[in-house]
Amino acid sequence: MTAKIIDGTKIAADVREEIRAGVKAMQERYGYTPGLATVLVGEDPASQSYVGMKQRMCQELGIRSIGHTLPADATQEEVEGLVRELNADPDVNGILVQLPLPGHLEEEPVLNSIDLEKDVDGFHPVNIGRLAMKGREPLFIPCTPHGVMVLLERSGVKISGANAVVVGRSNIVGLPVAMLLQKANATVSICHSRTQDLAAYTRNADILIAAIGRAQMLTGDMIKPGATVIDVGVNRVEDPSAKRGYRLVGDVNYEEALEVAGAITPVPGGVGPMTIAMLMKNTLRAAEIALAGRERVAS
Ligand code: GUN
């Protein structure tokens, strides 16, 4: 059996077209353009590259991008002060503080200081708390987990009643994706580095989410025949034949999984393009929330 390939590049392009149309409609109807502020602290090359991609995508979709860069030795007060300024700026609908922050800074108070209605990353504890609770909905869903759910939904994967196994428990991916799957009525197991007999869990997964950050750790024999495999991992492995000396692989052994799974996302071209698309979707939503607030004040 060869698995169906879930084409994240195509699905993300479809989502972006919907957002572009939404931005255009907002401009035509209300003369209003959504704005996203990015905050980058320090000079980590990977973070610089991610922020650059987010800013370019804003431009492509007609969203205003407001970039702020602080030096690597910025103080806690400087970072939180900038967030407060952006909270008060009516031209800023969404605020994204790129993570990880330099080691001397505390992440939690920075994320707490972002206005709930501008929390386009969905990392504010109130948004995460609402995600965890039955009958409550967050204002914004974290981007990568949201992208995973859209990939499943648009590929026609049945989530309700499925056994879903999430390998990895990070705040950015593992934990929120597990909560989303549970909200969608899957039976969810969260596995991590201390899980005993990981394969016993993964072999029972109708939906397997790999978000561990270890190259090709999930092998073909760990996958249930016919399962849907979503690979969130992006790992560099040395490859002298590649131009840059390395290539990118996921947390799943793709070649092996292809022979066992029913459907699988490739790396690159699976989850990756969805993350930025969902950030743009959250920014458009933040602008809709701001507009609704203006109308309430005016009436
Ligand atoms: N670092 C890695 N992923 C993310 C993300 O989704 N948002 C932010 N702000 N930082 C990240």
User: Using one digit for the tens of pLDDT, what is the confidence trace for 26-44?
Assistant: 999 999 999 999 999 999 9
Active site residue 54: yes
Mean pLDDT value of segment 215-244: 97
Residue 120 to residue 208: CA distance in whole angstroms: 26
Q: Which residues are registered as beta bridge partners of 4?
A: 263
- Name every protein residue with a CB atom under 6 angstroms from any ligand 1 atom: 96-99, 121, 143-144, 172
Residue 210 to residue 237: CA distance in whole angstroms: 17
- pLDDT tens for 44-83 read 999 999 999 999 999 999 999 999 999 999 999 999 999 9
Mean pLDDT value of segment 137-152: 98
- CA dist 55 → 42, 46, 139, 178, 269 (Å): 17, 14, 22, 29, 20
Cα angle 157, 161, 163; round to 5:
80
Q: In what order do the strands lie in the sheet with 64-70?
A: 64-70, 35-41, 94-97
Residue 96 to residue 256: CA distance in whole angstroms: 37
Atom number in ligand 1 closest to CA 144: 6
Whether pLDDT at 255 is above 90: yes
R_g of the chain computed on alpha carbons? 20
Alpha carbon nearest to ligand 1 atom 1, residue: 99
Question: What is the pLDDT, as a whole number, of residue 296?
Answer: 79
Instruction: Using alpha carbons, select from 268, 275, 239, 234 the residue that is nearest to residue 251.
Output: 234
98, 119, 231, 281: the active-site residue: 98
Q: Which domains does the chain have, with CATH numbers?
A: 31-115 (3.40.50.10860), 142-272 (3.40.50.720)
What is the band of 1 on the pLDDT scale with cuts at 50, 70, 90? confident
Q: Which two tokens stand for residue 272?
A: 């990756």
